[in-house]
Structure 1
Amino acid sequence: MNEINELIQNYGNWIYLIAFFWAALEGETFVIFAGLAAQRGYLNIFELIVAVGFGSLLGDQICFWLGRLHGTRLLHHFPKLEKGVNQAILWLEKHAVGFILSYRFMYGIRNVSSIAIGMSHLNWQKFALWNFIAAFVWAVAFSNIGYVFGDLIARVPEAEGEDIIASRIHQGMLIVVGLFILVMGFRVISTRLHKHHAKQSSVDKL
């Protein structure tokens, strides 16, 4: 938190530009503490959300085009990314919109997801639309963690506060991922049951 206060004192309104670029790297911790700074009156929460939202949007659009134009070459140079890319594409093919809206909250595949989407057959206009919505959902969520729970965070030592935040974020992400998997599982089972009943009906008619 002290580092962000120093940035605000040194750079004034330029802090929003810093937040913009930091969000392009999906820097949740910075955004949370910037939200806390807004809660204390150092920043404007709405301007922060706008800066962070567009930063996140830009970062993922760049990664999308990186995947679309150079994805194969990228995997050749960084083969460790392939597993995450394949998993992301698998989820994208099953639940395109849901995946785009939620992958920012998924640790493990989050950083490669926009690259993977670029390597898929999804058209760029559809990704841009849902990425815009997802970026601002992410911006509102993490900015307000710091803004709404600022008093709680301020009561604990800085290092301990960061640990608590990190712990809560990981718990939240696990819940989001768990719900996403449950929804996907329910849809898969429903689809299979529907196909089974349709097949059974065809057999009965014969």
Structure 2
Amino acid sequence: MLLQLIDMTLHIDKHLAAFIALYGNWIYAILFLIVFCETGLVVFPFLPGDSLLFIAGAFAGAGAMSLPTLIVLLFLAAVLGNTVNYLIGSYIGPKVFEKNWRFLDRDALRRTHQFYERHGGKTIVLARFVPVVRTFAPFIAGVSGMSMWRFQLFNIVGALLWAVGLTLCGYFFGNLSFVKEYLNVIVLVGLCAAIVPIVLGALWKLFRKRPAAK
């Protein structure tokens, strides 16, 4: 399963071409569902996001898909996905305070709420461009009690920059010979650039805590 996901991520252009040939116009519904699930359900952070949008834009640039239809559907999928994720978090959030969970730090949750009220907008927008993080950011915003209107404002801005921006980049640059030749490398570098800083940051905090504990 893991190897299949890695292969799909690194060779998403070939898989998308096969899907277009096999399903025709249903490809729009498939892409909508993938983006919606990746952004709307915390159990699907492994689905392709950035590379999928870019490659879809490249296929639109080659005439295989309609760019306006693609942009509208992907934008709606990104907005609705984050909204559902936020609502799930909002539903769970109050229940956290109803019971005394030993493993849960309520003070930490209150601090998270304060953080999202101050910096949540930037977090929601920037999280769009970080795999895995973009799946959990709206959920945490809902759990922490970030106000709905504020969340939706930055949710829409983030969807425009991410879904529409990456699709347009693929449309204009995805069919360049250099990009097509080194697409796998570009996708891999993009994933590493997004994930490695998070891993290093987590490791840094872990090693800083050990001396403090001693």
**TM-score, with length taken from structure 1:** 0.67
The question of whether the paired residues in 1 share the 8 Å contact of 2:61 and 2:67 is answered with yes
* Deviations, residues 165-199 of structure 1 (Å, cap 9, x unaligned): 23135447889xxxxxxxxxxxxxxxxxxxxxxxx
The question of whether the paired residues in 2 share the 8 Å contact of 1:71 and 1:115 is answered with no
The answer to whether 1:15 aligns with 2:37 is: no
Structure 1 or 2: larger helix share?
A: 1
Q: Post-superposition shift, 1:116? A: 0.8
The question of whether the paired residues in 2 share the 8 Å contact of 1:92 and 1:100 is answered with no
* Deviations, residues 21-75 of structure 1 (Å, cap 9, x unaligned): 111215222222111111211012222111111111111111101111124779x
Which residue number corresponds to residue 122 of structure 2?
98
The answer to whether 1:123 aligns with 2:147 is: yes
The answer to whether 1:64 aligns with 2:64 is: no
Give the unaligned 5+ runs of structure 2.
1-12, 40-48, 198-214
**TM-score, with length taken from structure 2:** 0.64
- Tell me which amino acid in the other structure corresponds to 1:126: R
The answer to whether 1:34 aligns with 2:34 is: no
The question of whether the paired residues in 2 share the 8 Å contact of 1:68 and 1:118 is answered with yes
Q: Secondary structure at the match of 1:12?
A: helix
Q: Post-superposition shift, 1:100? A: 2.3
Distance 1:106 1:94 in 2: 20
Q: Secondary structure at the match of 2:27?
A: helix
Give the unaligned 5+ runs of structure 1.
176-206
- Tell me which amino acid in the other structure corresponds to 1:93: E
Which residue number corresponds to residue 133 of structure 1?
157
Change (3 A) 1:90 1:65: same
Change (3 A) 1:17 1:147: same
Which residue number corresponds to residue 15 of structure 2?
3
- Tell me which amino acid in the other structure corresponds to 1:29: S
Change (3 A) 1:174 1:89: farther
